[in-house]
Structure 1
Amino acid sequence: MIQGLIFDKDGTLFDFRRSWGGWALSLLDELADSPAQRAVLAEAIGFHPETVDFAPHSPVIAATAPEIAAVMLPHLPGMGLQRLTDRMNALAVDAPTVEAVPLRPLFTVLRGRGLKIGLATNDTERPARAHLGNHAILDLFDFIAGYDSGYGGKPAPGQLQAFARQTGLDPARIAMVGDSRHDLEAGRAAGMVCVAVLTGVAGAAELAPHADVVLPDIGGLPDWLDAFVPA
């Protein structure tokens, strides 16, 4: 039986495009001095301002803030990496995250089953806690880790291994739930069951080879748990 669930945040709990498109627009507006520079910065992060959408290769999907900042930095003369990263993180705290499904009812059901619940994100921990708090689910999590929490970032398995240690669960009894290959690769490396969802940018064809199951969204987890049979 599955005894714990550890979730990615953006693209999993929250619809990726609707949540982070506005953040990307605000970031470009703040950083760019001209339309030409705005276009170059948008291309660097794989963002299409005209459709408020992201390319499949966009680093915003799964990279950490310093990694995203690093691809923009060559186009921002005089801007240091730490300064840019700090500004991106400050904007992320106020990003208007949009729930992929109604979260409080779902997580109340999952906790009612006795499951331990964790979060592993390549965002920083402070915005992650703010986003969970904004949607009234912070109290339902046993573990929260960002890339800056001391366990590294995905696709390395450090965050997931820390969740297993802190909850005392066998990794084989935990499911990693995410919308990107980074999430699923971290889950595999940690020895966990891997659940892919389609509320991010990646499609089923990309995710299926790395997942034990592909669900439309996390709302399908209770039924999947009911039917789950270990391999």
Structure 2
Amino acid sequence: MQVDGVLFDKDGTLFDFAATWNVWAANAITDFADGDPALEKRLADALAFDLQAGSFLPESFVIAGTNREAAEAVADAMGHSDVAAIELKLMQDAAGAPLVPAVPLRPFLSALSARKLRLGVMTNDSEFSARAQLNGVGIEEMFDFVAGFDSGYGAKPDPSPLLAFADQMQIDPARVVMVGDSTHDLIAGRRAGMQTIAVLTGMAGTADLAPYADVVLPDIGHIETWLNT
């Protein structure tokens, strides 16, 4: 494959979505509800989170949405408008969320770097959380570009943040691969004129992702094999 750069989504791509974010959401709902069962249910409904199963429903907007969108939903469920304070708490909690890498990340990224590929992360999470989490597992410095929805480039499925990566790396977008676990990731990649890889470490299945992907892989660990084809 003719590839000069690889741009990764974060949650559900570099990190297993369910193992990381279901725990974060359950804790956030408990904290905000503060012992009020009715509020707990409203919050869970607002985020499309199954309290009994302890997991997001597949249709939840939070899976591919921004931190601000989650904060707005929580604020609405709580009946007050202090979205900024809620967004700050969600961001701080996300920075300390339990991370479960989809594969051993350092050797995987080292192998890609050995191919002289430029590497980036574009997430609809905040840049603060993204950098804190990447640093927490010792890989932040391995990326040439890290952006969140609040970095000034926009949020997926808008292609602008993806094109910002290509522009800063001075790479033709057609020689960049966007790797993600949601249709937001893949649609953004297609709109940017990039190649697209879907991975199944998020909440979406092959049937949902395949129409927007050049290939669907079990996880990012299979990318090297794909590059060799």
Q: Same fold (TM over 0.5)?
A: yes
User: Which digits, 9 at most, give the CA deviation of each residue in 1:135-157, with x for residues without a partner?
Assistant: 11111100000011110100001
The aligned amino acid for 1:175 is V
1:9 paired residue number:
10
Deviation at 1:79, TM superposition (A): 4.5
Deviation at 1:196, TM superposition (A): 0.2
Query: Any residues of structure 2 matched to 1:187-206 within 5 Å, and which?
Result: 187-206=189-208
1:146 and 2:160 correspond: no
Structure 2: tracts of 5 or more residues without a match: none
The aligned length equals 227
Query: Any residues of structure 2 matched to 1:22-41 within 5 Å, and which?
Result: 22-33=23-34, 34-41=36-43
The aligned amino acid for 1:23 is W
What secondary structure, in the 3-state scheme, does the structure 2 residue paired with 1:60 have?
helix
The aligned amino acid for 1:191 is G
Deviation at 1:48, TM superposition (A): 1.4
Q: Report the Cα distance in structure 1 between the residues aligned to 2:69 and 2:102, rounded to whole angstroms.
A: 25
Question: Residue 180 of structure 2 is aligned with which of 178, 182, 200?
Answer: 178
Q: Report the Cα distance in structure 2 between the residues aligned to 1:68 and 1:57, rounded to whole angstroms.
A: 14
Query: Any residues of structure 2 matched to 1:73-84 within 5 Å, and which?
Result: 73-84=75-86
Identity percentage over the alignment?
Answer: 49
What secondary structure, in the 3-state scheme, does the structure 2 residue paired with 1:91 have?
helix
2:219 paired residue number:
217
Q: Which moved more, 1:114-123 or 1:32-41?
A: 32-41
Question: Residue 115 of structure 1 is aligned with which of 114, 117, 133?
Answer: 117
User: Which digits, 9 at most, give the CA deviation of each residue in 1:164-198, with x for residues without a partner?
Assistant: 01100000000000000000011011100010000
Q: Report the Cα distance in structure 2 between the residues aligned to 1:75 and 1:218, rounded to whole angstroms.
A: 36
Structure 1: tracts of 5 or more residues without a match: none
1:21 paired residue number:
22
- Equivalent pair of 1:8/1:121 in contact (CA under 8 Å): yes
2:136 paired residue number:
134
- Equivalent pair of 1:17/1:52 in contact (CA under 8 Å): no
Q: Report the Cα distance in structure 2 between the residues aligned to 1:212 and 1:78, rounded to whole angstroms.
A: 44
Deviation at 1:120, TM superposition (A): 0.4
1:60 paired residue number:
62
The aligned amino acid for 1:12 is T
Deviation at 1:49, TM superposition (A): 2.4
2:161 paired residue number:
159
Alignment root-mean-square deviation, CA: 0.9
What secondary structure, in the 3-state scheme, does the structure 2 residue paired with 1:56 have?
coil
Deviation at 1:53, TM superposition (A): 1.4
Deviation at 1:30, TM superposition (A): 1.0
